[in-house]
Amino acid sequence: MERMMDLNKDDLPLMANTGHMLVKHYVLDLDASFENRIIAGTIVLFLVTGDKFKETGRGAGEECCSQSDDACRDGTSEACHDLHATILRAHMSNTGHKDFAVSDQGEEECFHESGHHGNSEEPSGISSSKSSCDTEHHGREDFVLVLDCCDLSVLKVEEVDVTAVPGIEKYAKSVGLIDASERLRNLRNQIVSELVSLSADCWREQLSCYAQCSQAPGCGELLFATGPWSLRIRKAGVQTPTNFPHAIRIWYKTKPEGRSVMWTTDQSSRPCVYTVGSPINNRALFPCQEPPVAMSTWQATIKASDCFTVLMSGENSPEPLPCQEGLCSWFYYVTMPMPASTFTIAVGCWEEVKRESSIKDIPFFPDHEHRLVKQQCGHMEYPCRLRSPVAEAQAIIPHRVFAPLCLKNRCEEILLPLLPQCLSAAHATLGTHPFSRLDVLIVPSNFSSLGMASPHIIFLSQSVLSGNMDLCGTRLCHEIAHAWFGLAIGARDWTEEWISEGFATHLEDTFWANAQRLLHEEAKDQKELKALLRWRRLRDEVENSEEELQVLRPNKEKTGKVSDSGESVVKHGLNPEKNFMQVHYLKGYFLLCFLANQIGEASYFAFLRRFVQTFHGQLILSQDFLNMILEDIPEQKRCGLSVEEIYCIWLDTAGIPKVHAQPLLILSQTT
């Protein structure tokens, strides 16, 4: 049963039972309808049982590559274009999906006549024409898959018959069962298990198979119900996650008022839509598993009018393909597993800002190179850039800038020259860029922040284009820093925001000083001035906010703990006051200043490069960072510091630390 939420509390529920089943890949096939202000279509989830997630390596399936290793590794735009065309042909040939997304007729008209469905927002149970509590099978209740979902109209859920895909049998092993129906069910699940465990070298083959499976016919509708925060799905007679369908298709549409999607107009008065990093993340964009531990890959086909440009979190720089009269299809994918909350879409009449041919990207070369001895990656297997010598030498990754027409010239003057300088400065500080490309979009004026970073794309407020280059440069550096801290390395518990925001705030100063080519004394003066301003901001915030909201680890010793099913809450996640606070940015920043002072700045940044090398592609808790850096601090400089002491002074206590905070004390004496 879905827990009844206390509406007087401000904790954000994470309902997905990730301890039982995990989504390993999403395939989205969506239409953006500006007339109805909805995004609608299908999403196919490829799942494994919870125990599968504990495996550290994929291992199996390397022999399944039907192409040469060179072909599997091919990341050219031509290869991506061919894959997009193949997927689009498969989609257009499936007449059962035609015109679903833009229909504004009654929801039941989208179903087969025999379909069972439920879309009532009930606090518990499974809505359908059948009993919601099926206990006739050995007296046990059916297993229920719980997904995070809010502000969505779910129309239909069905199992996908992956065995219908031509050639898919090569992923199946012998299923020695007597019962034919059980044999078929296990065959489908086994195919999915083999597909998700393919070697990283076979990523291109894997994407193609995901696409073909996502277009396979359904083989039975599943019972479902939506609640205020979740979508609950079950199959009658299935009592365990192991036997639950491992490939399911969900037909749904967003609601115009959905809190994950912003329908608006740009600064040139043209319609647009973009997803927002709201407290509820993407659960009002698609049914998903929101807990950070549910790291997955995705691929998405978005159709929109041919006057629009579709930007998205993706490794490729796609060109649109005509799919119907007046419509174009855009295809993006990622091969690095990340939390579903990092997925981003922006659709609008964006103009690409291009530089004149005479202007070149000039990389920044530091005084000395910082090369690390490559160690074995600790993350789950994927095509990792940090293992690539070519990526290591790439100081400036491919990048594009998009903006409304009226801001195009300003972006060409301010933003475009800064981007290669900031990318190069970041590379000089931390090494290999975790992502292969970057789009930067100036979002509409109703964007509530200065910036937001997602994989392969950064949203920037138009405010950064005002005044001189300093505001634009520092904000750009902050968002670029999130590629390492926030995306490539994420917090295993969302309440530890300082792991992302504290690091980005600290690194933006170094990136920006390097991008400006400042001399040592100039950089030092600039950092001290910014520290003083941040000190005053933190002091004011502490004096005018609730103590509970000043704590960087509100769950304290329970940080990172979840229920057996995987369900948890984000403490204060729905508190509107928290959205306007910067305590996680500022206290996290000053903690890092303190540690850098203890270890010495040069040693500190050398340590950060080792830390990124060790933990990229993984989720961490505070102690992972603190244990590693304390080992680097010489005993005579450690002053009795321990993880527990840092917890007590910096992370688990409200207010501004008074002990072991030399930078803070120096600044406080000048105020």
Asked about 631 being catalytic, the answer comes back as no
3-state secondary structure of 627: helix
**What does the alpha-carbon distance between residue 61 and residue 569 come to, in Å, rounded to a whole number?**
36
Q: What is the DSSP string of 571-598?
A: TTTT-GGGGG--HHHHHHHHHHHHHHHH
**What does the alpha-carbon distance between residue 494 and residue 149 come to, in Å, rounded to a whole number?**
18
Work out whether the CA dihedral 23, 128, 150, 109 comes out positive or negative.
positive
3-state secondary structure of 139: coil
**What does the alpha-carbon distance between residue 576 and residue 53 come to, in Å, rounded to a whole number?**
34
Tokens of 264: 């608006």
**What does the alpha-carbon distance between residue 507 and residue 350 come to, in Å, rounded to a whole number?**
30
User: 670: Cβ–Cβ under 8 A, 6 or more apart, which residues?
Assistant: 532
Tokens of 279: 């407290």
Supply φ then ψ for residue 504, to 5 degrees: -65, -40
**What does the alpha-carbon distance between residue 100 and residue 148 come to, in Å, rounded to a whole number?**
23
Q: Give the active site residue among 221, 351, 479, 497.
A: 479
Taking CA atoms, 641 is separated from 201, 497, 594, 629, in Å, by 44, 22, 12, 11
* H helix or E strand, kind and range, residue 335: strand 327-339
Gyration radius of the chain over CA positions? 25
One-letter amino acid identity for 39? I
Catalytic annotation, residues: 479
